A and B are shown apart, each in its own frame.
Chain A
Amino acid sequence: MTSLVLLEFDDSGIKQPSRSAVAAAQALGEVHALVAGANVGAAAEKAAKLPGVAKVLVADNPALDHLLAEPTAALLVAMAPAYSHILAATTAIGKNVLPRVAALLDVQPISDIAAVVDADTFVRPIYAGNGMATVKSSDAKKVITVRAASFDPVAAEGGSAPIEQASVGEMPGLSKFVSAELSKSERPELTAARVVISGGRGMQNGENFKLIDPIADKLGAAVGASRAAVDAGFVPNEYQVGQTGKIVAPDLYVAVGISGAIQHLAGMKDSKVIVAINKDEEAPIFQVADYGLVADLFNALPELAAELERS
């Protein structure tokens, strides 16, 4: 039984959610990793170093640049006969590509798994994580996206897998990449950060998110937000933590001015330590917080910045 994992990467290497997907695949047997895109030689070298990867397959083709759904799915479908399981992390790319692969293989995908029970059986959250469903697939082949926060990622280095070329067939030209407008940030990515500080509706506007910056700088934290803050236009959607945004499980999660709607909790309740700062002592966020501070965030945030600066 061999699994194929679609990897995502940037200049700094294989992304952490993909390394978590490799960890999930290891529970199923031998793991092969796919590096697809345009000019991806360097990424393939990095993939070969992932511990637990038995082989790296490289599909280097201009049509695969940006991993658009239509060509990437066609590639995975062409490679599928050799594999029992096809996996990717539950990211924008994984969610876009893998269901397309599944449909082409006549398979019901298993989205966002949080645990592997056996080769056919997996645990996945439903209803914003209010239920954990154990599901058994009757399909011969499984197509799976992996909730990165639920699996400790494999290390970035330590392995030395052979690299082979995947045969790239004809690619459908149904869509074209036009442009990307990616947030420039020196901060770690939300899903990979050890510390996350999120602001909610209590921040009142986007400008006030600057109060979080010095604290995030000091702690090396990523900055997130609740859906309410995104809805209100304070920050862009990629900040969103929750059922319909990103799922995070950092060592420390600080919720500032966030009431704690169930949809937000769905995205962060697996964090190791949760801190809540809110002036409403009845806010539901305090029911999940390890440390709660009832305070006006406009006083507490500058104080917190100063306190961290002091020592």
Chain B
Amino acid sequence: MKILVPVKRVVDYNVKVRVKTDGSGIETAGVKMSMNPFDEIAVEEAVRLKEKGVATEIVAVSMGVAQCAETIRTALAMGADRGILVETDTDLQPLAVAKLLKAIADQEKPQIIILGKQAIDDDMSATGQMLAALLGWSQGTFASKVAVEGESVTVTREVDGGLETVSLTLPAVITTDLRLNEPRYASLPNIMKARKKPIATMKPADLGVDPAPRLTVLKVTEPPKRKAGQKVGSVAELVSKLRTEAKVI
């Protein structure tokens, strides 16, 4: 079966982001960009499914500016077979991304689409669910375990009180949570090999999708800052202050 893995280019996990002084957004110029960490987990899971003989081909998809091709190369170096880049300068929001991915899925006909549960830039946590809805497929979000069995896939999900296991009829959309796997580092030979793997480039219009955003960002502000408080010298002093000063215990 074919697996589609959408991957997003985001500000690297370790970058301390700053709000632009004009309040128009987050400063991304000159900032290190990487693959969204949850999408790395998705690529890893797809590669493992291929190594197990469940998957036959892995197609990595990214969308946005031309540099998203680098994010696709990372997926190819981890083990994806080919890439699709949907190039646009439009600010892509999850609804537009889901529509573009649906159009690609209609062409590629994968049995599983696996992607991160959330992107660490907009923190929307929506694309996978929206894609499943548009395709009319089942969805297994926040997955910590995935087992493909014939015409269905069993997904163990991280939920608020623990774990929930659901059985989904294929085709299905799966979104990855932290504990699903630990993504591999691409080896140098695989990075070299990835350069030769094909990436097809298209535009939203080629897929018949209007990617215009529905949410307008009016402003972005810094969150209220907390001030550092006081150091206490002992456990006894801490307990006493929590009782008499903060009055929280």
Q: How far is the CA of A218 from the CA of B112 in the complex (A)?
A: 48
| Contact of A99 with B125 in the complex, beta carbons under 8 Å | yes
The listed residue (B94, B126, B172, B232) touching A291 by CB distance below 8 A is B232
> Is A12 part of the contact surface with B, judged by Cβ < 8 Å?
no
- Chain A hits for B246, CB < 8 A: 252, 273, 290-291
Q: Which of B124, B234, B236 has the most CB of A within 10 A?
A: B124
Q: Does B34 contact A (CB under 8 A)?
A: no
Cα distance A68–B134 when bound, in Å?
17
Give B175-213 as 1s and 0s: 1 = Cβ < 8 Å from A's Cβ atoms: 001110000000000000000000000000000000001
- B residues in contact with A308, CB < 8 Å: 239, 249
How many chain A residues touch the partner (CB < 8 A)? 92
**A110 near B162 (CB under 8 angstroms)?**
no
Within 8 A of B (CB), among A247-290: 251-252, 262, 269, 272-275, 281, 286-290
CA of A117 to CA of B162, assembled, Å: 34
A135 and B177 form a contact (CB under 8 A): no
Residues in B whose Cβ lies below 8 Å from that of A195: 248-249
Q: Mark A79-115, 1 if CB is under 8 A from B, else 0.
A: 0000000000001110111111111101111111000
User: When the two chains form their complex, are residues B169 and A175 in contact, meaning their CB atoms are under 8 A apart?
Assistant: yes
B70: chain A residues at CB < 8 Å are none
The A contact surface, by secondary structure, is mixed
In contact, A176 and B19 (Cβ under 8 angstroms) = no
In the complex, what's the smallest C-beta–C-beta distance from A38 to chain B, in angstroms? 15
Query: Is there contact, CB below 8 Å, between B217 and A134?
Result: yes
Whether the pair B179, A110 counts as a contact (CB closer than 8 A) is no
A residues near B95, Cβ cutoff 8 Å: 102-103, 106-109
Q: Number of B residues contacting the other chain (C-beta, 8 Å)? A: 82
Residues of B within 8 A of A178 (CB): 154, 165-167
Chain A residues in 8 Å Cβ range of B221: 131-132, 134
Find residues 114-167 in chain B having any chain A CB closer than 8 Å to their own CB. 117-118, 120-134, 136-142, 144, 154, 157-167
B226 at the interface (CB under 8 A from A): yes
Query: What CA separation (Å) do A283 and B75 show in the bound complex?
Result: 35
CB-contact partner of B222 in A107, A131, A174, A291, under 8 A: A131
Cross-chain contact of A180 among B98, B162, B219, B222 (Cβ < 8 A): B162
Is there a chain A Cβ closer than 8 Å to B26's Cβ?
yes
Q: B235 — nearest CB in chain A belongs to which residue?
A: A303
A160: interface (CB < 8 Å): no
**Inter-chain contacts of B234 with A (CB < 8 A):** 293
In whole angstroms, what is the CA distance A310 to B213 when docked?
59
Does B231 have its Cβ within 8 Å of any Cβ on chain A? yes
Report A86 CB to chain B, min CB distance, Å: 14
Q: Give the residue of A127, A181, A288 whose beta carbon is less than 8 angstroms from that of B123.
A: A127
A129 smallest CB distance to B (angstroms): 6
Cα A138 to Cα B141 in complex, Å, equals: 27
A130 touches B215 (CB 8 A): no
Among B123, B160, B222, contact of A128 (Cβ-Cβ < 8 Å): B123
Of B162, B167, B229, B238, which one neighbours A176 at CB under 8 angstroms? B167
In angstroms, Cα B226 to Cα A129, docked, is 13
In contact, B133 and A73 (Cβ under 8 angstroms): yes
> Within 8 Å CB of B216, what residues of A?
135-136, 138
Chain B residues in 8 Å Cβ range of A176: 166-168
In the bound complex, what is the Cα–Cα distance between A69 and B164 (angstroms)?
Answer: 13
Residues in A neighbouring B120, C-beta threshold 8 A: 127-128, 243-244
B32 at the A interface (CB under 8 A): no
Residues in chain B near residue A135, CB distance under 8 A: 215-218
Is residue B88 within 8 Å, beta carbon to beta carbon, of the partner chain? no
Contact check: which of B19, B123, B168, B226 meets A111 at CB < 8 Å? B123
Q: In the complex, how many angstroms separate the beta carbon of B22 from the nearest chain A beta carbon?
A: 13
Bound form: Cα–Cα A129–B93 in Å: 18
Q: Which of A108, A137, A219 gathers most chain B CB within 10 Å?
A: A108
CB contacts (< 8 Å) of A125 on chain B: these are 123, 223
B1 at interface, CB cutoff 8 A: no
In the complex with contacts A126-B26, A238-B162, A108-B214 CB distance below 8 A: yes
A295 at the A/B interface (Cβ < 8 Å)?
Answer: yes
Identify 9 residue pairs between A and B in the complex whose beta-carbon atoms are under 8 Å apart, listed by A's number.
A70-B139, A108-B93, A132-B223, A133-B217, A174-B168, A176-B168, A181-B162, A238-B161, A252-B249
Minimum-distance CB pairs A-B, first 10: A103-B130, A290-B229, A174-B138, A103-B133, A108-B214, A99-B126, A99-B129, A182-B162, A92-B159, A303-B235
Q: What 4 new A-B contacts, CB under 8 Å, besides A99-B127, A112-B125, A175-B166?
A: A103-B129, A104-B134, A174-B172, A291-B242
A interface residue numbers (CB < 8 A to B)? 66, 68-70, 73, 91-93, 95-104, 106-112, 121, 125-139, 172-183, 189, 191, 195, 219, 227, 230-231, 236-238, 240, 243-244, 246, 251-252, 262, 269, 272-275, 281, 286-295, 300, 303-304, 307-308, 311
